[in-house]
Amino acid sequence: MEDFKIKSGLEIHQQLDTGKLFCNCPGYLRKDEPDYEVERQLHAVAGEGGKVDVAAEHEAQKKKRFIYQGYYDNCCLVELDEEPPYDIDEGSLKVALQISLLLNCEIIPYTQIMRKTVIDGSNTSGFQRTVLIAENGYLETSEGKVKIESVCLEEDAARIVDKGKGKTVYRLDRLGIPLVEIATAPDITSSKQAKEVALKIGEILRACKVKRGLGTIRQDVNLSIKKGDDQGERIEIKGVQDPKLIEKTLDNEVERQKKLIAQGKSKEEVRNALEDGSTEFLRPLPGAARMYPETDLPLLHINRGLINNAKKDLPKLSSEKKVELEKQGVKGELVKLLTKEDKLSEFKELVNVCNKPNLVAKILTVWVKDVADNTGKNVKDVENKVSIDVVESILQALDDEKISKSEIQQIMEEIVNGKNVEDALDRERVDNLEEEIRKIIKEKPGLNPNAYMGLVMKKFKGKVDGKKAMETINKLLG
Ligand SMILES: [Zn+2]
């Protein structure tokens, strides 16, 4: 028997790692006590179309008080809705343009900043500003092309810090942090494909200047299923935390819908994604009449200059970077570490100085960690002390044969422990290595090369190049 057909689309919200979108406040969250508190009450009002939104009504019925907490240095009058918004932040716009280009979208040259009605109190103004930046893009997946319907830039909402009876406390630090909103067309036909799309979009986002970590990305999935005349209503699932959970969440919802359809009980609604892949009812599906123009701001002109500036340093995806590194001869695990730890620009710079890609990769990734372990410092400290310039000096000394490869870790440790770079690179040398080794062999004849090597290293540790010592031993024994 034919199974139900899935029709699904994704909507992904990602915080950008830039300043706030419509004021000059920095975009970061805080843990300390707020500097001030204001109280507001929100009322559901009819939009310009004259209709009160269904979802707006649902919220207004609850008659809530809203408390807003703010800080002097990352919330201003714009967040409090006491001052009109400033022009859109160009840094945020640039990142949004880069994301749009990587999603193969067409940039919209003249675009209207809009207000989207928000009625849960999470925005002091009662609306969220949003602007359509690009449209008509696509992503390739193993199950075919998925169209990218739109890329929008919007402001994040204030965050809830406390929710009591009839009262909600919001913190304003998050309000105005730029979010990029990516919406795919409902082209996705399986839960596996939904996961693939989420992971691909995730890769693109991480290549750009976006925030990392829990709470900085949110994935919403919409879904309807159909078999012949049996059709389920449209369901929106909000807030799937991990792209890997999308497949399971969708599979569960499809099963739930099948049962509801059989009972004639499927109805459109918004559901909340839970950590175990199940969902719970959140609210009715909001109506469509929720947007109207932001009259405080002029039409946004995304000119050639802005687009070229975004193209000029368009980030590379980690999969592309990997291919490039492999071409340069970097081996397996080091490729992964360099891309994962975001050390590509350092790597490139250093390989230009010293054409030993695997050594450079090893210094930047594995050895930095080993040195941190051996010196009891953290990786950041090691990276600060053994900066790119320092690594460059080390590589230069290696090229000039002043030091040997086997000494590099030791040198890094000495620098981390406070020695200055010049002193650390000025290795004390045994004047006549061959003569010294000849003496050792004469004192204890009949040993094997490794045993002599042990004796040499014991006597001259840090003063001889291991490789050279071994060659000399072999030469003298040979
Ligand atoms: Zn501000």
pLDDT in tens, 217-240: 999 999 999 998 888 999 999 999
For strand 269-273 and strand 114-117, is the pairing parallel, antiparallel, or unpaired?
unpaired
List residues bridging with 6 in a β-sheet. 225
Output the pLDDT for position 350: 92
| Residue 49, pLDDT score | 53
If one counts every other C-beta atom within 10 angstroms of the C-beta of residue 49, the result is 12
Phi, psi of 443 (to 5 degrees): -65, -40
In which element (H, E) is residue 414 found? helix 408-416
Q: For residue 359, count other CB atoms closer than 10 A to its CB.
A: 18
Stretch (H or E) spanning 255: helix 245-262
**Burial (Cβ within 10 Å: 0-12, 13-18, ≥19) of residue 272:** middle
The model's pTM is 0.76
Tokens of 282: 């959140």
**Cα of 86 to ligand 1 centre, how many Å?**
9
Cα 264 from Cα 287, distance rounded (Å): 23
Identify the CA nearest to 137 among candidates 179, 89, 200.
Answer: 200
- In this structure, how many other beta carbons lie within 10 angstroms of the beta carbon of residue 13? 18
Residue count of the chain: 478
What is the C-alpha to C-alpha distance for residues 245 and 250, in angstroms, rounded to an integer? 9
Rounded to the nearest 10 degrees, how much is the dihedral formed by the CA atoms of 177, 178, 184, 190?
Answer: -40
Decide if 12 contacts 200 (C-beta within 8 A): no
Token pair of 104 as six digits? 């193969």
How far, in Å, from the CA of 72 to the mean position of ligand 1?
Answer: 9
Q: Which amino acid is at 124?
A: T
Q: What is the pLDDT of residues 279-337, one digit of tens each?
A: 999 988 877 657 899 999 999 999 999 999 999 989 988 888 888 888 888 988 899 88
Contact predicate 208/15, CB 8 Å: no
The alpha carbon of 11 and the centre of ligand 1 are apart by a number of angstroms equal to 27
Q: How far does the chain reach from its first CA to its final CA, in angstroms?
A: 80
- The CB density around residue 8, as the number of other CB atoms within 10 Å, is 26
CA of 78 to the centre of ligand 1 (A): 5
Distance (Å) from CA 341 to ligand 1 centroid? 32
Q: Where are the domains of the chain?
A: 5-300, 316-425, 433-477
For residue 74, report the distance from its CA to the centre of ligand 1, in Å.
Answer: 6
Closest CA to 220 of 253, 182, 255: 182
CA–centroid distance, 173 to ligand 1, in Å, is: 9
Q: Which pLDDT belongs to residue 62?
A: 60
Quote the ligand 1 centre to 240 CA distance (angstroms): 29
Cα–ligand 1 centroid distance for 257 (angstroms) = 44
CA of 36 to the centre of ligand 1 (A): 14
User: What's the distance, CA 3 to chain centroid?
Assistant: 37
The CA 299 to ligand 1 mean position distance, Å, reads: 21
The pairing of beta strand 65-70 with beta strand 167-171: parallel
73 C-alpha to ligand 1 centroid (Å): 8
Please state, as a whole number, how many other Cβ atoms lie within 10 Å of the Cβ of residue 408: 20
Task: Give the Cα separation of 412 and 421 in Å (integer).
Answer: 9
Residues of the chain with pLDDT under 70: 1-2, 42-63, 288-289, 462
Q: List CB-based neighbours of ion ligand 1 within 5 Å.
A: 23, 25, 76, 78-79
- Å from CA of 19 to ligand 1 middle: 9
pLDDT tens digits for range 427-476: 877 778 888 899 999 999 889 999 999 998 888 876 777 788 888 999 98
Taken in order 312, 318, 323, 326, is the CA torsion positive or negative? positive
Mean pLDDT for the chain overall: 90
Q: Which helix (H) or strand (E) holds 205?
A: helix 191-207
* pLDDT recorded at residue 115: 94
CA of 76 to the centre of ligand 1 (A): 4
When computed from its CA atoms, the radius of gyration of the chain, rounded to whole angstroms, is: 30
Distance (Å) from CA 83 to ligand 1 centroid: 10
| Residue at token pair 């991990």 | 242
pLDDT score, position 263: 92
Ligand 1 centroid to Cα of residue 15, in Å, is 16
- In the prediction, which pLDDT does 430 show? 74
Q: How far is the CA of 23 from the centre of ligand 1 (A)?
A: 5
Structure tokens at 457: 């290293």
Chain center to CA of 196: 17
User: Which of 249, 135, 271, 273 lies closest to 195 in space, CA to CA?
Assistant: 249
Tokens of 202: 């995730």
Identify the CA nearest to 382 among candidates 337, 344, 417.
417
Helix 304-312 / helix 90-102 crossing angle, nearest 10 deg: 70
